[in-house]
Amino acid sequence: MDNVDFLKEVLIALKFELIRYRMAVAALAVLVLFSVLALGWHWQSMYVSHATLAVEVNKIFQPLLKGKTDNSKIDHLAQATDLITSSAVLEEAARKLGYIDDQSSVEDVGEVISVMKSGIEIQNNKNRKNFLDISFSSADASVSYETLKVLVELVVEHHRLATKAEEQSEYEFYSKQVKIYEERLIQSEDAIREFKLRSKELDEDAAQDRVAKLTQEIQDLKLGIQETETKIDTTRSQLGNESEYLGIQGRLFNLKQQRFTLQNELSSLRMQFQESYPDIVSIKQQLNEIDSQIKSITDEYGAHITTFGIGEQNESNPEVLYDELRRELADSERQLKAQKQRLVSLEGLLEEQYERISVVAANQVELADLLRDYNVTKDTHAELLSRKENAEISVAGTKIGQGLTYRVVNEPSFPLGPSGLTFKHFLIVAPVLAMGAPIGLLLALIILDPRVRTPSNLSQGTLQDFGVLAVIPHYHSMFSHRLLRKDMLILSIAAAVSIMLFVYIAVLGLSA
């Protein structure tokens, strides 16, 4: 069986079911019709007023605001949305519109704010990213328009006053902080100045140079003391051999006097006699013996003679050398004493210099702390001064409408008609639902009811292996025909009444 035959059988079955349940179908249709009309009659139409708010960031002064936060990265639309739906703005709008007053309870205020908030709808404009589409819905067109108008005005005014107060507060805060840090900066400068006047020793390098110079002088003085002590020891050693020197000097002096005398005699004899003269020979022998003795003394005491300076120049005055050595010894002892006293003085100065270095180091640490505090205070003061200037520029910019501003692009519109479902829509839907509801229920009954109504039910059921020989049509008696005509007359009258009532309700609803 194709779909067309199946559809014909379903329609035939639907016809019989409509006839069978004609009173119930009519009652259900009337019930659905007037139920929908009643719903539409009591349906509250909403009037929506629309406005567009621009959230703009003017960056004319932005190059001057060094170090200030870049507002372009903040979601200003979200901030505007939060401001519009804030309890403070809604409460002020409700008071301005007369919805609440000072005698209103907290519950009444909360309820009014909740109702107003439920009527607000905010969306980002699809064409302009910095535009907000604001709408307010209410059952009264005037209420919708007036409420949205007041809300938009309050949002713009609240933002302007809040921005002005914020910028002014920021400027006053930074002005106060700048004065505080100016005083701290002056105190730091005074502390450094007083410290430098109080602590003259601040140059650690100069102190180290003086220590190095004193150390070198001490080392040189110690070497001089060692030389002086060596000289004193040598002189004392020489003075200790004075008696030995005088003995050697006497013997040499006597031998040389004898040699001188014999030499004179030899010279006289040679003038008178020959070399072979016995006296001349004897004198020569004596001279040789004397020379031998002189040579022997010289060889034995040559070191002493060299050390003590025994020679031809000193032979006539042997006391002169030792007097000179005594004077040199006295001078060396005085020099050694002076050198030792100077060494003690230099060591004391070196100790004082080391103590001064420790003082200089402590002063350097204290000065470094003062300078660090000064630099930190100076940098902070410069930063605060820069922020104060930025805040001053921001205050000036806010006065002429720069920075972040809210501007009404489209003023709130007065709603000319309701939005959404109206009574007209219910008038259209009511007849459709009145006819569709019973027909839909009967179709569901035909499809879901297992009773056999068409030949196709036999071919698809448990007797599908057997063929259908014939179909016997329904038989209607005379009584059933009279009953059907009577019912149809009643249904026609009811339908006429229902239609007239429907038209009457429709006229009343559309003219309201």
pLDDT tens readout for residues 354-376: 777 777 777 777 778 888 988 99
Q: Find the largest Cα–Cα distance for the chain.
A: 227
Q: Rounded distance, CA 234 to CA 304, Å? A: 13
Are both 241 and 166 inside the same structural domain? Answer: no
Q: Which of 11-20, 271-280, 430-439 has the highest mean pLDDT?
A: 430-439
- The structure tokens listed for 120 are 């607000």
CA nearest to 194, candidates 358, 356, 363, 382 = 363
Are both 345 and 215 inside the same structural domain? Answer: yes
pLDDT tens for each residue of 130-172:
788 888 888 778 888 888 888 888 888 887 777 777 777 888 8
Quick one: pLDDT at residue 451?
A: 64
Are both 366 and 442 inside the same structural domain? Answer: no
Whether the predicted pLDDT of 58 surpasses 70: no
Quick one: pLDDT at residue 314?
A: 43
62 part of a folded domain? yes
This prediction has a pTM of 0.46
194 part of a folded domain? no
Are both 210 and 348 inside the same structural domain? Answer: yes
Are both 304 and 343 inside the same structural domain? Answer: yes
Are both 172 and 211 inside the same structural domain? Answer: no
Q: How much of the chain exceeds pLDDT 70, in percent?
A: 74
Are both 52 and 75 inside the same structural domain? Answer: yes
357 part of a folded domain? yes
- 348, 214 contact by CB (below 8 A): no
Phi/psi-derived region of residue 226, left when phi > 0, alpha when psi is between -120 and 50, beta in every other case? alpha
Q: Phi and psi (nearest 5°) for 490?
A: -65, -45
Domain count, the chain: 3
Q: Which of 141-155, 159-173, 455-469, 496-510 has the highest mean pLDDT?
A: 141-155
DSSP 8-state symbol, 269 = H
CA nearest to 422, candidates 42, 31, 115, 33 = 42
Boundary residue ending a domain (362, 385, 410): 410
Higher pLDDT, 248 or 313: 248
| Chain centroid offset of residue 93 CA | 41
CATH of the domain at 86: 3.30.70.1130
Are both 222 and 359 inside the same structural domain? Answer: yes
Q: Which of 2-11, 61-70, 483-492 has the highest mean pLDDT?
A: 483-492
Are both 173 and 298 inside the same structural domain? Answer: no
Strand partners, 408: 53
- 185, 377 contact by CB (below 8 A): yes
292 part of a folded domain? yes
Average pLDDT of the chain is 75
- 412, 148 contact by CB (below 8 A): yes
pLDDT-based confidence at 315, cuts 50/70/90?
very low
CA nearest to 349, candidates 205, 208, 211, 203 = 211
24 part of a folded domain? yes
Residue 63, classed as helix, strand or coil, is: helix
- 449, 16 contact by CB (below 8 A): no
Q: Which domain holds residue 309?
A: 205-370
CB count in 10 Å sphere of residue 257: 11
Q: How much of the chain exceeds pLDDT 90, in percent?
A: 0
29 part of a folded domain? yes
pLDDT tens for each residue of 323-345:
777 788 788 888 888 888 888 88
Are both 349 and 426 inside the same structural domain? Answer: no
Are both 28 and 51 inside the same structural domain? Answer: no
Question: What is the number of residues in the chain?
Answer: 512
277 part of a folded domain? yes
Radius of gyration of the chain (CA): 69
Boundary residue ending a domain (410, 438, 459): 410
- 474, 16 contact by CB (below 8 A): yes
